[in-house]
Amino acid sequence: MTTFAAREERALAADATDPLAGFRERFHIPRHGDGEIAYFCGNSLGLQPRDTRAALEAELDDWAKLAVEGHFRGKLPWMDYHEFVRDDLASVVGALPSEVVAMNSLSVNLHLLMVSFYRPTPERPAILIEKGAFPSDRYAVESQIRFHGFDPATALIELEGDAADGTISDAAIQRVLDEHGARIALVMMPGVQYLSGQAFDLRAITEAAHRKGCVVGFDLAHAAGNLDLALHDSHCDFAVWCSYKYLNAGPGAVAGAFVHERHARTSHPRFAGWWGHDKSTRFRMGPDFVPTPGADGWQLSNPPILALAPLRVSLGLFREAGMAHLRAKSLGLTAYLEGLLREHAADIIDIATPSEPGRRGCQLSLRVKGPRAAGRALFEHLQNDGIVVDWREPDVIRAAPTPLYNRHIDCLRLVESIVAWSRATR
């Protein structure tokens, strides 16, 4: 077994040659004692880019100096502000610019798009989700089922994991579609499952579900900015995501939505608001709603400028780095962390996330071997040691080596701390 001292030298050398290393300096890294924390929580809240404050202050200055005229004469006129993030957002999720929009929050966007794309009938009332879905998703789909007059006891189908590690195989998805496809109105799956860290093949799921006549949507909260997505080419009908995790746009940041271009002009019903009205006639203030083609047509209200400014800054970093390069670093860094855990902590930790690189993002979900209290104790030890991970009930520690600002030396520090805790508690 290689010693930690030898590994430290190699980790520092790997970080020194990392072509993306400079991006770390463009984020605020919180302090711990005389040094910096090791931050593995980008899957919950991304770190703040250093340029965010200036971007916010610029909008505040325009508000102070221009008041309402900031809509037209600001450095970045507010009237069109949501369009300033469109191209970069489309690039991050692999979509056409017309297919994406930054608006609202994830759960709000999910409800708005289900209004259009969950159209149940007595013969086809069901929604398929994964068992153990993020609670907000489950609440949303269950409430939509009830809203349409159906019973979740029969119209909510929850797909259980069938693999030894509790994850869901492609075969399991196909089996449930073969058995229930004729009853399923909407397949609503995650891009990355929040608890296990399993990544799903969006295109394969979409093709299988479409063959059964189902509409397909994805929650990309843990996938946007993490995986090199290809939403347009997946042919899914819609998707939603938040921007405060890997997209680093700040707590409660404005979220995003995708609607495939084939639905750019649709007769599907929708909840309407004035900012979704055709831009060319919006300010004629007419009584009849004429939706803007594309994802913009699902907007309700004018864009929140102070929420969009941090997203614009962060997306600029993604443009500079490139999702393909970020994904390549993510694959290497996550594999490095997994290798350290298997070599030095295999008797302490089980890894619940799939080992195959294509079936995960950068998150590894860890379970401590032994009583559940031990897992919580390790989590608290790591926090006290300046290593920020997160805890998800009932027994999962999530650690996400995020390529924009994490390093090999951070991964080594995490594993060293786990081993030190284990030795101290034996």
Q: How do the domains of the chain map onto residue ranges?
A: 4-36+322-425, 56-320
Inter-residue contact 274 to 78 (CB < 8 Å): no
Token pair of 422, please?
Answer: 């284990």
Rg (CA), the chain: 23
Check residue 163 and give its pLDDT. Answer: 84
Q: Which residues of 281-305 are buried (b: 16+ CB within 10 A; e: fewer)?
A: ebeeeeeeeebbebbbbbbeeebbb
Q: Which of 188, 142, 141, 196 is nearest to 169 (CA)?
A: 196
Distance CA 260, CA 280 (A): 22
Is the Cα torsion angle 385, 388, 389, 395 positive or negative in sign?
positive
Tens place of pLDDT per residue across the chain (426 aa):
678 888 999 999 999 999 999 999 999 999 999 999 999 999 999 999 999 999 999 999 999 999 999 999 999 999 999 999 999 999 999 999 999 999 999 999 999 999 999 999 999 999 999 999 999 999 999 999 999 999 999 999 999 999 877 899 999 999 999 999 999 999 999 999 999 999 999 999 999 999 999 999 999 999 999 999 999 999 999 999 999 999 999 999 999 999 999 999 999 999 999 999 998 899 899 999 999 999 999 999 999 999 999 999 999 999 999 999 999 999 999 999 999 999 999 999 999 999 999 999 999 999 999 888 899 999 999 999 999 999 999 999 999 999 999 999 999 999 999 999 999 997
Q: 68: part of which helix (H) or strand (E)?
A: none
Check residue 331 and give its pLDDT. Answer: 98
* Helices 170-180 and 202-211, axial angle in degrees (round to 10): 20
Check residue 165 and give its pLDDT. Answer: 79
Check residue 203 and give its pLDDT. Answer: 98
Say which CATH topology domain 4-36+322-425 has. Aspartate Aminotransferase, domain 1 (3.90.1150)
Note the CATH number of domain 56-320. 3.40.640.10
Domains 4-36+322-425 and 56-320 fall in the same CATH topology: no
Check residue 5 and give its pLDDT. Answer: 83
Check residue 374 and give its pLDDT. Answer: 94
